[in-house]
């Protein structure tokens, strides 16, 4: 909180010294410009002020610090150490040196926190829309699909399905009308990666969708954003308008013969709308309920037309791959899960925030090096990964590389990238109850196992939390978990029991301590 007041105050003070310049218009004039940027990721330390070109990062800036920032640093070039990150008697002046940033590889988040998200010119100045122009003028649609296949970019929304394969399937469909849909319906409690990308670098998402549109011969794109993200909606709206003004959206883009436009759809915040078929139903104005597959979305998606459906982070990777090449992308992280992944770390960790690391980075590096370890010197107990559809990982998994396949092997999943860290005092039964309550509320009610099963599981968990459960209830929980995951219609139901199943597996003792007939 307070960032806007600090921005206004700094602006006012620079102006009082007659040094204020507009960074876009007065680039030949001497002076000091000030801009608002997207999220830097270091939530714990906000409000943040970054000074360029020195790259100083000032943390937890207060309104009263503004005079000193302007007079000392901006006018006299003196750093203010008091506002810089310090640990073990060291002061970290440059942002990149701070341990929180040092182990990160910021690719999709690179522009977040560095450019003004509402400026088309700044995006272009950073090489934006170069990838679009490359595909439009140098590549055929099937070559674009092939390059995404070669990069092995896997969907960042949870499943990890190869994006290029999906695109090639849509390209192959014989239909005059095809669609590209961007899933910005991030619903996991504790996750805000997609939101930060849409708020901090909206053109990156639009460029990715345009490239997908060209690659699949699609005619229009839809971005489905939850209405609880008004700033993301606003920034996307501005970016779409600017792109249109510059001839990058609409008919015959840059005289290439390719026409494509993008619309924004605001979702009402139903978790199930993250599920592909529920999401397309919701765009069509129907109730957001999943349907039985097949047909698959690539064949009959939005309005029964072939549809590419990827999430925000997946699209944001696309311009980078086109610009730098598939082999560059494949060179980051493990071969089967290349690239980076954005995670939102929350919970009992020192540095909460938004991070981006190469796939394959271990949980230990994420929690201890970047996250700065557990709060108040307590011990690490577990981390919930993948939100309510994911599972928990414990001490024995700390050296596990975070990538799609390694996590699958231990029964967890990256999901969209939420990481909720828990310390030794956290009650795992309560954690399971929390997630089950969430999923039960969000079940759309279409199929019985999910609708009734989650209700039943929640009742049992509540009984156990109140100390009234029995050992038999634990067996019943396991049975219900099995039934729901094998019979539910959609992903929400299939994974609804995962938090319970994984806490039961790793912390059964804790459950037993809660029940009346402890054995
Ligand atoms: Fe709805 Fe649950 Fe069935 Fe999915 S599994 S369709 S959320 S009732």
pLDDT digits (tens, 9 = 90+) for 351-363: 999 999 999 999 9
- Determine the pLDDT at residue 199: 94
Domains along the chain with CATH numbers: 3-98 (3.40.30.10), 120-330 (3.40.50.11540), 340-423 (3.10.20.600), 428-514 (1.20.1440.230)
Pocket test for ligand 1, best of 185, 272, 293, 442 (most atoms within 8 A of CB): 272
Residues 182 and 141: beta-carbon distance below 8 Å = no
Interval between CA 424 and ligand 1 midpoint (Å): 34
Residue 444 Cβ contacting ligand 1 at under 6 Å: yes
Ligand 1 nearest-atom number relative to CA 278: 6
- Ligand 1 and 490: CB distance under 6 A: yes
Q: Which residue has the higher pLDDT, 235 or 278?
A: 235
Q: Could you identify the atom of ligand 1 that is nearest to the CA of residue 490?
A: 4
Which residue among 288, 490, 491 is best mutated to probe the pocket of ligand 1, counting the most ligand atoms within 8 A of its Cβ? 490
* Distance in angstroms between the alpha carbons of the first and the last residue of the chain: 50
What is the DSSP secondary-structure string of 45-98? G-S-EEETTTTEEE-S--GGGHHHIIIIIIIH----GGGSEEETTEEE-BGGGS
**Ligand 1 pocket check: which of 493, 495, 498 to mutate, most ligand atoms within 8 Å of Cβ?**
493
Which of 147-161, 181-195, 199-213, 374-388 has the lowest average pLDDT?
A: 181-195
Give the pLDDT mean for 411-423: 87
The verdict on the CB of residue 293 being under 6 Å from ligand 1 is no
Distance 489 CA to ligand 1 centre (A): 6
CB of 270 closer than 6 angstroms to any ligand 1 atom = no
Query: Does ipTM surpass 0.90 in this model?
Result: yes
pLDDT tens-digit profile of 37-91?
Answer: 878 888 888 899 999 888 899 999 999 999 999 999 999 999 999 999 988 889 9
The response to whether residue 496 sits with its C-beta less than 6 Å from ligand 1 reads: no
The dihedral sign for the CA sequence 294, 297, 300, 303: positive
**Once rounded to an integer, what is the mean pLDDT over residues 493-516?**
93
Identify the weakest region by mean pLDDT among 82-86, 184-188, 279-283. Answer: 184-188
How far, in Å, from the CA of 327 to the mean position of ligand 1? Answer: 39
Higher pLDDT, 393 or 268: 393
Query: What is the rounded average pLDDT of the residues 134-152?
Result: 98
pLDDT above 90 (res 260): yes
Q: In ligand 1, which atom is closest to the CA atom of 450? A: 2
| Residue 477 scores a pLDDT above 90 | yes
Which of 24-33, 51-60, 147-156 is the least confident region? 24-33
CA–centroid distance, residue 405 to ligand 1 (Å): 26
pLDDT, one tens digit per residue, over 376-414 is: 999 999 999 988 888 899 999 999 999 999 988 888 888
Which of 286, 439, 444 for a ligand 1 pocket mutation test, highest count of atoms within 8 Å of Cβ? 444
**Confidence bin at 325 (pLDDT 50/70/90):** very high
Does ligand 1 come within 6 angstroms of the Cβ of 187? no
pLDDT at 290: 84
Q: Give pLDDT, residue 386.
A: 85
pLDDT for the residue 364: 96
* CA 245 from centroid of its chain's CA atoms: 28
Ligand 1 centroid to Cα of residue 389, in Å, is 13
Alpha-helical regions (H) of 294-403: 312-324, 326-330, 363-364
Evaluate the omega torsion of the peptide bond into residue 47 and state whether it is cis, within 30 degrees of 0. Answer: yes
Query: Which residue has its alpha carbon closest to ligand 1 atom 3?
Result: 447
- Bigger pLDDT: 89 or 461? 461
- Average pLDDT over all residues of the chain: 92
445 lines ligand 1 (CB under 6 A): yes
β 391-394/380-385 pair status: antiparallel
Contact 463, 395 (CB under 8 A): no
Protein residue whose Cα sits closest to atom 4 of ligand 1? 490
User: Looking at the predicted structure, is the pLDDT value of residue 471 above 90?
Assistant: yes
Q: What percent of the chain has pLDDT over 90?
A: 76
Q: Which of 275, 282, 288, 445 to mutate to test the pocket of ligand 1 (most atoms within 8 A of CB)?
A: 445
> Which position has the token pair 């209830």?
473
The residues, any chain, with a CB within 8 Å of residue 59's CB and separated by 6 or more, are 42, 45, 46, 48, 83, 84, 85
Task: Please enumerate in sequence order all residues whose Cβ is within 8 A of that of 357, keeping only pairs 6 or more positions apart, or say none.
Answer: 103, 104, 105, 340, 341, 343, 365, 366, 370, 402
| Whether this model's pTM surpasses 0.90 | yes
CA of 164 to the centre of ligand 1 (A): 28
Tokens at residue 126, please?
């950073």
Confidence of residue 186 (pLDDT cuts 50, 70, 90): confident
Least confident of 76-80, 156-160, 282-286, 475-479: 156-160
Query: Is residue 519's pLDDT more than 70?
Result: no
pLDDT of residue 89: 85
Is the pLDDT reported for residue 306 higher than 90? yes
- Euclidean distance between CA atoms 70 and 102, whole angstroms: 27
30-44, 135-149, 211-225, 308-322: which range is least confident on average? Answer: 30-44
Which percentage of the chain shows pLDDT scores above 70?
A: 99
Q: pLDDT-derived band of residue 437, with 50, 70 and 90 as boundaries?
A: very high
What pLDDT is recorded for position 1?
62
Probe ligand 1: pick from 281, 288, 293, 443, max atoms within 8 Å of CB?
A: 443
pLDDT band for position 507 (50/70/90)? very high
Contact 58, 69 (CB under 8 A): yes
């Amino acid at each position: 909180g307070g960032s806007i007041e600090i921005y206004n105050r700094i602006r006012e003070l620079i102006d009082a010294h007659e040094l204020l310049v507009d960074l876009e218009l007065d680039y030949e004039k001497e002076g000091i410009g000030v801009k608002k940027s997207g999220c830097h990721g270091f939530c714990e330390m906000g409000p943040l002020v970054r000074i360029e070109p020195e790259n100083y990062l000032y943390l937890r800036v207060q309104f009263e610090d503004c005079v000193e920032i302007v007079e000392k640093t901006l006018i006299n070039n003196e750093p203010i150490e008091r506002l810089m990150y310090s640990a073990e008697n060291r002061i970290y002046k440059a942002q990149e040196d701070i341990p929180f940033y040092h182990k990160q590889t910021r690719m999709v988040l690179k522009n977040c926190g560095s450019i003004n998200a509402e400026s088309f010119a700044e995006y272009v100045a950073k090489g934006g829309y170069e990838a679009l122009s490359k595909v439009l003028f140098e590549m055929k649609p099937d070559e674009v699909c092939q390059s995404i296949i070669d990069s092995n970019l896997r969907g960042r929304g949870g499943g990890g399905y190869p994006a290029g394969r999906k695109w090639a399937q849509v390209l192959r469909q014989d239909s005059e009308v095809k669609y590209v849909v961007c899933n910005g319906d991030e619903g996991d409690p504790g996750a805000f990666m997609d939101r930060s990308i849409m708020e901090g670098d909206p053109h990156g998402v639009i460029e990715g969708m345009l490239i997908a549109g060209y690659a699949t011969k699609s005619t229009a794109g839809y971005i489905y954003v939850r209405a609880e993200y008004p700033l993301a909606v606003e920034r996307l709206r501005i970016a779409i308008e600017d792109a249109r003004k510059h001839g990058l959206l609409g008919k015959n883009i840059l005289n290439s013969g390719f026409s494509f436009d993008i619309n924004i759809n605001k979702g009402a915040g139903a978790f199930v709308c993250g599920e592909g078929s529920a999401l397309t139903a919701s765009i069509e104005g129907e109730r957001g309920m999943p349907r039985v597959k097949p047909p698959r979305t690539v064949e009959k998606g939005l309005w029964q037309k072939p549809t590419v459906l990827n999430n925000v982070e997946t699209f944001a990777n696309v311009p980078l791959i086109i610009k730098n090449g598939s082999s560059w992308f494949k060179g980051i992280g493990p071969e089967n899960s290349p690239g980076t992944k954005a995670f939102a770390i929350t919970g009992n960790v020192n540095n909460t925030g938004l991070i981006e690391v190469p796939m394959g980075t271990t949980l230990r590096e994420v929690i201890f090096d970047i996250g700065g370890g557990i709060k108040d010197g307590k011990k690490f107990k577990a981390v919930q990964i993948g939100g309510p559809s994911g599972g928990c990982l414990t001490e024995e998994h700390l050296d596990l590389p975070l990538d799609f396949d390694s996590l699958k092997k231990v029964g967890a999943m990256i999901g969209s990238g939420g990481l909720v860290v828990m310390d030794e005092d956290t009650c795992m039964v309560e954690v399971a109850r929390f997630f089950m309550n969430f999923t039960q509320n969000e079940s759309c009610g279409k199929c019985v196992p999910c609708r009734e099963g989650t209700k039943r599981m929640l009742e049992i968990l509540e009984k156990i939390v109140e100390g009234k459960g029995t050992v038999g209830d634990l067996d019943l929980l396991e049975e219900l978990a099995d039934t729901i995951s094998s019979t539910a219609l959609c992903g929400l139901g299939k994974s609804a029991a995962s938090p319970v199943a994984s806490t039961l597996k790793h912390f059964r003792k804790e459950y037993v301590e809660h029940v009346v007939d402890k054995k």
